[in-house]
Structure 1
Amino acid sequence: MLCGVPLIDYYGPQGWGNESPPLRQRQHVATELVAKVLAEQAEPLPTVLDVGCGDGSFLAHLAATLPGQDVRWIGVDYSEHQLARAAALPYEFHRCDLGEGIPLPDASVDLVHAGEVLEHLYDPDRMLEECARVLRPGGHLVLTTPNLQAWYNRALFLAGIQPIFYETSTRSTEVGVGPLRRLKTDTIPVGHLRLFNRTALVDLLRREGFEPLTLRGAGFHGVPSAMAWLDTAMCRVPSLASILVVLAAKR
């Protein structure tokens, strides 16, 4: 609830929540970082929390990718529709409004994954504060979020066109895109409220008690196929990549 207005469930049955999309490049990069952390984990039964877990498909992917790991998997999400789908999985799930906090005890988690969540929140500081609270000392956060200053957004700003990922309407992504309107086949917004560039993301993490250890770039599946090679090349420079992927440690 925000100022008396109910939160919009963009991933409910009337939105984007009817089927699980294929794994994106950002998720493959996040998987590598999660695997790296868990491989060095001394805890006999590490706890992994997926914030914004949706239907639990990424948790299932992690569990299948790391079969030798004995892990306690937990997911939290706001969408009742998505959590109803996740209920078929053998993991622990909780419904919560991230603006009100994460319903887990202090220092109860070893690793938090938050994939494409930060940009949906009115108060991203609060979410990171809560991630730090539930993490044990020295715990890790793996986070992905769209890059406001992706290589194509820099050009779009100069051309006076609304940048990709930044939504100004709750009904259509065509608002402000000008000549790019013909490329907008998915016109339903996904609820982006905040966008970060590399500097802003690192600053916010440090402000909320994290130290970034690794920052990587990932491609965006919505880039036209003819330019996918360029999007892949830009991943070598995270500040220009479509998606920012960061591994940070709780200080």
Structure 2
Amino acid sequence: MLCRVALIDYYGPDGWGSQSPPLRQRQHIATELISRTLTARPEQPAAVLDVGCGDGSFLAHLASTVARPDVRWIGVDYSEHQLARAAELPYEFHRCDLGEGIPLPDVSVDVVHAGEVVEHLYDPDRLLEECARVLRPGGHLVVTTPNLHAWYNRALFLAGIQPIFYETSTRSTEVGAGPLRRLKSDTRPVGHLRLFNRTALMDLLRREGFEPLTTRGAGFHGVPSAMAWLDAAMCRRPSLASILVVLAVKR
């Protein structure tokens, strides 16, 4: 019998997300894709939804980049702490449990961004179903998520070491890390429940009514600096990249 998992606010006042990190490569790529989508139809007012918006800093970045006064900027998140910080921004925010749905009407937004969210959910199918519901016909979804088959994870599997991003403990990232424990000593679990490779992500998107248009690879800020050049090189092959970034259209 399946049961709901109790939600943990990893971004609360005692969590690791008390300060906004600098924009990551995946967010710069998402910005490019969203901006391109919005500027393709400048004559039509638009609504953009950031699912898992946190403190709203990425929405603020998008708004300053796109610079269209007619865009309605919306964010949803579970963390009360993060949304209290987001309330200082001039955008629309809602608190919700994504497992229960997105608190917006049907066909009410044009672009949805779900950055590093789908891997945190017990029911990722439900999230994509809800994204399709709130999007207008022909609307776009930009989703980013860690890649289970990143280049280093393929080697770690063969070595019998827990792959990066995959968590089996809510208390320690050192569980299963083997010789990588020394690199994990200052890190904490972030609540990853599901991990995807490129094929799995494409399959899930198509099952929930989307057609992938563009797949890009992004680097991971946690890769040791001596190997950052290799991580950057692997971004040219999204199936090997650390992070998957996908632009999809609602069918």
Q: Normalising by structure 2, what TM-score?
A: 0.97
Instruction: State the secondary structure of the residue aligned to 1:23.
Output: coil
The answer on whether the counterparts of 1:51 and 1:75 sit within 8 Å (CA) in structure 2 is yes
Question: Deviation at 1:215?
Answer: 0.2
State the SS of the aligned residue for 2:214: strand
CA shift at 1:184, angstroms?
A: 1.2
1:5-20 map, 5 Å: 6-20=6-20
Match of 2:177 in 1: 177
**Offset at residue 187 of structure 1 (A):** 2.6
**Counterpart mapping for 1:90-169 below 5 A:** 90-169=90-169
Q: Could you list the per-position Cα deviations for residues 149-176 of structure 1 after superposition, in whole angstroms to 9, with x for gaps in the alignment?
A: 0000000000000000000000010100
2:74, 2:92 within 8 Å by CA — same for their partners in 1? yes
- Pick which of 65-74 and 147-156 moved more: 65-74
Cα shift at 1:4 = 6.0
Deviations 1:22-81 (A, max 9, x none): 000000010000011001125632000000000000000001111245310000000000
Q: SS of the residue aligned with 2:228?
A: helix
Distance 1:168 1:43, change over 3 A: farther
Taking the TM superposition and a 5 Å limit, the aligned residue runs for 1:1-251 are 3=3, 6-41=6-41, 44-68=44-68, 70-251=70-251
| 8 A Cα contact 2:9 2:79, kept in partner | yes
Structure 1 residues 35-44 or 10-19, which shifts more? Answer: 35-44
Q: CA deviation at 1:5?
A: 5.1
Tell me the secondary structure at the aligned position of residue 47 of structure 1. Answer: strand
TM-score after normalising by structure 1: 0.97
Q: Distance in 2 between matches of 1:203 and 1:222?
A: 28
Aligned to 1:215, what secondary structure does the other structure show?
A: strand
Partners of 1:115 and 1:11 in 2: how far apart?
Answer: 15
SS of corresponding position for 2:139: strand
Please identify, of 60-69 and 70-79, the stretch whose mean Cα deviation from structure 2 is larger: 60-69
Does the 8 Å CA contact 1:146/1:165 hold for their aligned counterparts? yes
Q: Give the drift of 1:3.
A: 3.3
Structure 2 CA distance for aligned equivalents of residues 26 and 17 of structure 1: 18
Aligned residue for 1:114, secondary structure, equals: strand
Kept in 1, the 8 Å contact 2:5–2:122? The answer is: no
- Whole-angstrom distance in 2 between the partners of 1:186 and 1:243: 22
The 1-side partners of 2:152 and 2:3 are apart by 35
- Ranges of 4+ aligned residues in structure 1 off by more than 4 Å: none
Contact 2:174 2:185 in 1 (8 A): no
Backbone CA RMSD of aligned residues? 1.2
Aligned length: 250
1:8 is displaced (CA, Å) by 0.6
Q: Cα deviations across residues 105-131 of structure 1 (Å, max 9, x unaligned)?
A: 000000000000000000000000000
Letter in structure 1 aligned against 2:175: V
Q: Which amino acid aligns with 1:201?
A: L
